[in-house]
Each structure stands twice: as C-alpha cells, then as structure tokens.
Structure 1
C-alpha cells in the first residue's frame, strides 16, 4: 500500500465533505488538477470508483467510496492524534473539528460554542452539522463528525460513548393564557386532556408518547411538526401544548409576537440529559476534550434555571 499517500486520503475526504472537486481544492488550498489527479491515482491503486460525478459537477461517493471513507477518516484521525501526542505540552489547538447537533439543541449549544472556540482556540477549523438524532448517530459511527450533541434518551445505536454535558428537565410549552401558564411547574396529568403537538424528529415523538403512557396516560397527539418555531406559534394561538427539553430565554415570543410559557414538568420519570457522543474506543484528543469542556460550559450558561433566577423580581 505504499502507493497510497495521506495527501490522497486528505483530498478524497475533502471531496466527500465539500461535495465537489473545486470546493475541495479551495478547502485544501491546491489546484483542482491536484485534487483530480490524487483521486484518479487513488482509484487506480484501489481498482474501484470512489467518487461519482453528477450534474453541475457535484461529486457523490459510491458505495465503495462511503465504505473506504470511514477507514480513511480513521487513518487521518489516528495520524493527527499521533502527532498531537508528541506535543501535549503545547496549549495551541489547531486543525479541523466537526461537531454535529440535533436541531432542537442547536440554538442553545452551537452559537456560544462557536464563540468560545473563536476566543480560546482560534486556530481550530470548526464546522457544524445539524441533523436528526438517528442521522447524527450514523455520522458519528461513519466518522463524519468528531462529536455530536443530543439527548441521552435519543441514543439508540451501539458503538457510541456518551459524555454527560448537563441534566435537563422536560418543559411543557403552553399559551400565555392557558389555565396553568402562571404556575411554577406542572404535572403531565394536568395537560393530558389538551391536544399535544410534538416535534417530528424521530425518535423524539415516539419516546415522549411512550413516557406519557408509562405514567398511565394516553396523550392526544394532534400534529407532528418538523419545525420547533412552527410548534411555538401553534401553541401561542392556543391550538394545543407541546413538550421540549430545549428551553429558550423567557422573553422569547412566537413568530407573530405572542408570548408563551415554558413550565417544568414535575414528573420525575421525564428526567433526561444533554450529552456529547463520540465513537466508542476513540481516543479523546486534546481537541475533543476541549470541545466537551466548552459544550459543558455552554450547557451550564443556558440552563433555564439560571434565566429564571436572573429574571426573578
């Protein structure tokens, strides 16, 4: 395998991530011809087609390319870790770091994380991917992201290690004129007769319905909606209530400017945690440790209990 070089693997992975040879060339700061030549040499050596060229010169991996990409990422990651291990005394972190996140947690976690990295580790090439829980787990297992943020009860796949970032409390989202709107907390039994509007992001709705049934109630699910902002607007209009682990600032209103209320659900059965997940067996490099530390700080800074304390009279 002496004909295969790390540079070829680097260009190949860049094409996978960027979706075209031209974008990969810009990312790697080389010419398109260099990337194309490296890909051709790699495919010739392996005797398989790794990249299929589609319309508008877009590049998509073949089945062989996807499989090889998993191993190529692992090789590059191991080499990076090996180099890093020789420089453990250095406080400077650099190179790429890919963070995945479920859409409901992204507004809470990603902006402050990006800001912290920019301030503390400006030489890190940080990138983000938002995807549904099942997808981000697949991306972890395929080496497409280094760490992903989700909720503990959403983790369903083998081969993943969980790192607790913060405990979370489920909240009920109700309209500002709902009978329980001014309460400090609510039992799920007090809302069970209302229509329920849930986020359509598997397995989120299924898990919540199962938990409600587990405490002895049958929810009346009115709609499954893929957008949290749309759900907030529907609740603001009094069309039902919803449930969420991600709680925005108390001043948040709907798209139409209507106030809503997020009330802690007091049933202990609904406890959960926000976690960072990595591929099982992966060495926690300095970059990954820094990422987990920053994610924990972000989770603590956006804890809804802190906001309630800050806004209390």
Structure 2
C-alpha cells in the first residue's frame, strides 16, 4: 500500500501551482508549517527531492517533483470523482468544471454550451474564465482550468487539441464606404484605407499574417483591445477592420449598421479548437462538457 496520503499530494499540487509555501497554505486554508511538514514527509516516503525552497524566492519543483505533480493531479482528480459519484450513488454527474475561452470567442461559444450543460447536468457547478490565450494556457498548465476554447494559433506544447469548427475572416466596413458595394474585397484594395486593428494576440498575429501573405502593408490608424469596440469604431466610419468572429447581427453596440464582406481571394479558414492539458486527467464532469461541445457543433 502507498505510504503517502492524498493530503500530501494536495499540498504538493498547491505548492506547484501557487509557487510558494505561503500561497499554497492560503489556498488550502492550512498553516505554512503544515504544508512544509507534508512536503517533507512526501519526500521522505518517495525517497527523492521534490522541491527547491529558497527564502524570498518561492518554491520550484525538481524534475522529479514535476513528474510527481503531473501524476498527483490525476490521482487527486480520480479521488474527487469517486467521492462525488459515491455521494450521488452513481446516478448523477456531480462536481465542478472550469472552462476557459478566448475573450472574442466567448459570446459565440459559451452561452449555448453553458445553458445546455446546466440543463443536462444540473448537479455540476460550472465556472468560466474569458481572457487572453496566454492567460488561458497558463491556467490550463497550473490546473485551474479543465478545458478551453481558443483559436488554433500558437498553441503551446503539452495541450491536447480538438477542432470544434472552422470559420473565415471577413472585412468590416461602414455601409457607406465605396468598397461596401462589392460582395468581396481584396486586401490590396484596403492598402490606403485607415485600419482599426484588434491588437490582442493571436488576433493581431493572424491579421498581420493575412496582409503579409497578400504583400500589403496596412495603414493601422487605430489599435483596440476589445472586439466590440473595434466593430463600433468601424460603424462610426473611423476605418475598416478584419475580424474572424461574426455575430448574428451585423450591427454595433449602438445599433449602427456594418457591412461585412468576404476577402478575395479566399484566405485560409481559422480553426476554433478545444484544448486540454495532456498532463491532467479530465474529470467526468469535464469530459461531459467536452463531449457536449462536440455534439452541439456536430449538429450544425
């Protein structure tokens, strides 16, 4: 029988995710000495050094510590699943699932998914986070997100990816713009026009790559960090934009019309992807959300 305890593994996971004894103690509502004692005992039982502890510099994991942490997260998740399923006598899915989404994707992806999931699995507590892809990848790596929805650009190592659907970028123009009379617009036609760039990775990198491939140097007049601000500025006649997501209605927050046109020649379609950490065993609740997301988008 193993001589370590789940509490010791939980302390290691908290230290690995939080980066310090003090932060781990706060997260688990334990004393710092209790965390230290648990780590010491775990290292003794496993007969290996798991952490490097430096005063005022936090705690880092050794290669052995990183390996044990990866395995420990799966064990802790399995134990949580067992407790929750036993409590429900195996008849209900319970527990908690934490989902992330790139901010400009969130209005398109999350509401339908969360509504359908809550209806089907009412006993599961759902939490979500919308932010940048860098923030999402960090949270996947430290175990504070179970799965996430992102653009398939610049994905880091260590994530499992599944394509949810594909879409294509479009040009947004004020309705009165001369180019809005055409069904399609080439990037070359936009070269001298003021551009409103959604200046958030990976949207920025994707837009820059489109223009670079077309041999066009855009005139970036404004930069924004918000999807809807970008659309509203276009509707006010301040410039054009290239965006991947297209809401159901081609109007801004102010109710002003937008002209949305396809790019000619056609550009490569963009993959919207579900990602999960390869080092974390998914809970039953997280696996159910993963399956439901695929189901919803397969119907379309």
- Answer whether contact 1:213 1:219 (CA < 8 A) is retained: no
- Answer whether contact 1:197 1:224 (CA < 8 A) is retained: yes
- C-alpha deviation, 1:166, in angstroms: 0.3
**Aligned equivalents of 1:151 and 1:228: distance in 2?**
14
Structure-2 residue corresponding to 1:176? 175
Structure-1 residue corresponding to 2:46? none
For the residue of structure 1 that corresponds to 2:267, the secondary structure is helix
Structure-2 residue corresponding to 1:296? 294
**Residue deviations 1:232-287, cap 9 Å, x none?**
22111111111111211215423x43222333334333311100012236656644
For the residue of structure 1 that corresponds to 2:221, the secondary structure is strand
Structure-2 residue corresponding to 1:279? 277
Which structure has the larger Rg over C-alpha atoms?
2
Structure-1 residue corresponding to 2:74? 77
Q: Structure 1: which 5+ residue stretches go unaligned? A: 26-31, 54-60, 304-313
More moved, 274-283 vs 216-225: 274-283
Structure-2 residue corresponding to 1:113? 113
Q: Structure 2: which 5+ residue stretches go unaligned? A: 44-48
Pairing 1:133–2:133 present: yes
- Answer whether contact 2:11 2:38 (CA < 8 A) is retained: no
Pairing 1:62–2:61 present: no
- C-alpha deviation, 1:118, in angstroms: 0.8
For the residue of structure 2 that corresponds to 1:64, the secondary structure is strand
**Aligned equivalents of 2:218 and 2:14: distance in 1?**
46
**CA 192–11 in structure 1, closer or farther in 2 if over 3 Å, else same:** same
More moved, 204-213 vs 101-110: 204-213
For the residue of structure 2 that corresponds to 1:223, the secondary structure is strand
Describe how 1:1-313 pairs up with structure 2 within 5 A: 4-7=4-7, 9-10=9-10, 32=29, 38-39=34-35, 41-43=37-39, 45=41, 62-64=58-60, 72=69, 74-81=71-78, 92-152=92-152, 154-181=153-180, 183-250=182-249, 252-254=251-253, 256-280=254-278, 286-297=284-295
**Residue deviations 1:27-81, cap 9 Å, x none?**
xxxxx5x67775354355469798x99xxxxxxx934389969954652334434
- Answer whether contact 2:9 2:76 (CA < 8 A) is retained: no
For the residue of structure 1 that corresponds to 2:247, the secondary structure is coil
- In the superposition, the TM-score normalised over structure 1's length comes to 0.71
**CA 22–204 in structure 1, closer or farther in 2 if over 3 Å, else same:** same
- In the superposition, the TM-score normalised over structure 2's length comes to 0.74
- C-alpha deviation, 1:189, in angstroms: 3.1
For the residue of structure 2 that corresponds to 1:136, the secondary structure is helix
